[in-house]
Amino acid sequence: MASSTLIDLRKGRPGSGGGAGAPPPEDGPIVLYARRKQIYPQLVFGTFRNIKWLLLFATLGVYYVLPWLRWDRGPGAPDQAVLADFAGGRFYFFGLEIWPQEVYYITGLLILAAVGLFLVTALLGRVWCGYFCPQTVWTDLFLVVERFFEGDRNARMKLDKATWSFNKLWRKTGKHTVWLLIAFATGGAFVLYWHDARLLAETFFVGRAPMTAYVFAALLTATTYALAGTMREQVCTYMCPWPRIQSALIDRDTLMVTYRSERGDPRGAHKKGDTWEGRGDCVDCKQCVVVCPMGIDIRNGPQLDCIQCGLCIDACDGVMKKIGRPTALIAYDTDENVLRRWKGFPARNFSPFRPRIVVYALVFCLTVALMAFGLTTRSDIEMSVLKDRSLPFVQLANGDVRNGYTLKVVNKQRAHRTFDVQVEGLAGAMVEIIGEGGDAGRPVVSADADGVERYRLLLTVAPGDLRGSNADISVVLSEGGKTVATTAATFLEPETGNAS
């Protein structure tokens, strides 16, 4: 029967016929939920571990330091190099300034990130997860703290099994305290990207910072502590969708961390002085397993959990050197080459020129080119003209027909500017800007530095100038006699029979 925690599904042994009354299998009931098995990755030294150290310090350094960098944009503008200024409606990245109207650049960045991830995965497997993913980076940092307080793999395992004592208490307390400090620094650094970093640092600890800063700092503190400190590999295996997606992107020619079974099998223990004839180079030491942050055995072939970090390569190479065998029993290789060696054919050189790689690369380059073109050719003035929706037109007592519009001017320069307004395609029209000056017949609008202004635009046409049909027109802004912005609009008229 089913209990509150287990469903006991009894099976008969082979030949018993199964069914009711059959004896249970030797391994007992089938458990439909298994508790997490704690993984204690052992510290390893080697090329890929050094690469991970380098990238860990580089990525964390960028994340924690970037909000404090300054960039002079002139008077009245924030001097923080990287800032998402929601209050001002701007995103600043050093010399680049993105306005709300240019959100398509953010879309372009997301496309680049997605296609770039597809491209890298098709080429090298899940290397993003192994070297750059925030979950991997912060988990590595938390493991550094854990080893500092509790020691390496065997010492941590022994400490966890030991009864509570002062030694265990201070080590566990110290570890979790530093974890919380790192998590808080992570959440605190995140909110610095959304506010002026210096001002927020001055007001945060005295209770005068915006409430959103406290909420998001607390949220990022909690998630960093939970994901990097306690959940670790479970995030990569169960929460992250990427392991499922990557199976559609890789193929037999993808370069991945691979156990070269044609050389390593049959595996088994080896004593010094014994021959290597009739057996493989793998001595079944399981060093590749104990160093793996995911706790998997790479010798079982490609697996969803593998993050391609290469630590098993470092561990295996160290063992091979000790026993006097060639290194690279575990290496970055392709499944196609492993299969070819089993069949006695020579391995092929890795080639990135495959159809899917070419497609991803072309899409990536095209997106970069389009974004670069847009950034280099974008104007420092934008204008939009929105037709009134309440009334298509107004016919005055003298027969004149008037259309109303909302004229919006976006000035991206850091100086006050004045523009002449002209209307093309509507002969004889009287142009009027409500609330603005200008000579008769020469309406003007102005915009403050780095500002957005809205005006009421009225176009009036005498009965003799009516066409009897709607007119496509252009509203033109000019500055110093030079056209700086043009936008299309429509002038609506009454039907010919009603125009009198």
Q: Tell me: the pLDDT tens digits for 375-425?
A: 888 888 999 999 988 888 898 988 899 999 999 999 988 889 999 999 998
Structural domains in the chain? 1-35 (no CATH), 47-245 (no CATH), 251-342 (no CATH), 381-498 (2.60.40.10)
**Residue 8 and residue 28: Cα distance in Å, rounded?**
8
**Residue 233 and residue 129: Cα distance in Å, rounded?**
11
**63-77, 84-98, 351-365, 440-454: lowest mean pLDDT where?**
440-454
Whether 213 and 204 have beta carbons less than 8 Å apart is answered as: yes
* Strand residue runs (E) in 344-399: 381-387, 394-395
**Residue 405 and residue 428: Cα distance in Å, rounded?**
18
Share of the chain above pLDDT 70, in %: 91
**Residue 296 and residue 315: Cα distance in Å, rounded?**
14
**66-70, 71-75, 253-257, 319-323: lowest mean pLDDT where?**
71-75
**Whole-number pLDDT of residue 26:** 55
Nearest residue to 7 (alpha-carbon basis) of 40, 30, 28: 30
Q: Determine the length of the chain.
A: 500
Nearest residue to 189 (alpha-carbon basis) of 180, 197, 181, 179: 197
Whether 476 and 483 have beta carbons less than 8 Å apart is answered as: yes
**Residue 283 and residue 427: Cα distance in Å, rounded?**
91
**Whole-number pLDDT of residue 108:** 93
DSSP3 helix / strand / coil % (the chain, rounded to 5): 40, 20, 40
Residue 165 confidence class, pLDDT cut points 50, 70, 90: very high
pLDDT in tens, 208-262: 999 999 999 999 999 999 999 999 999 999 899 988 888 889 999 999 999 999 9
Other CB atoms within a 10 A radius of the CB of residue 3 amount to 8
Q: Which two tokens stand for residue 142?
A: 């938390």
Render 200-222 in DSSP notation, one character per residue.
Answer: HHHHHTTT-S-HHHHHHHHHHHH
Average pLDDT value for residue range 286-315: 94
Report whether the peptide linkage leading into residue 266 is cis, meaning its omega lies within 30 degrees of zero. yes
**Whole-number pLDDT of residue 7:** 36
* Cα angle for residues 52, 47, 122 (degrees, 5° grid): 65
Other CB atoms within a 10 A radius of the CB of residue 50 amount to 11
Please say if the pLDDT value at position 70 is more than 60. yes
Residue 65 confidence class, pLDDT cut points 50, 70, 90: very high
Render 181-204 in DSSP notation, one character per residue.
Answer: HHHHHHHHHHHHTTS-HHHHHHHH
Over the chain, what is the mean pLDDT?
Answer: 88
Whether 123 and 357 have beta carbons less than 8 Å apart is answered as: yes
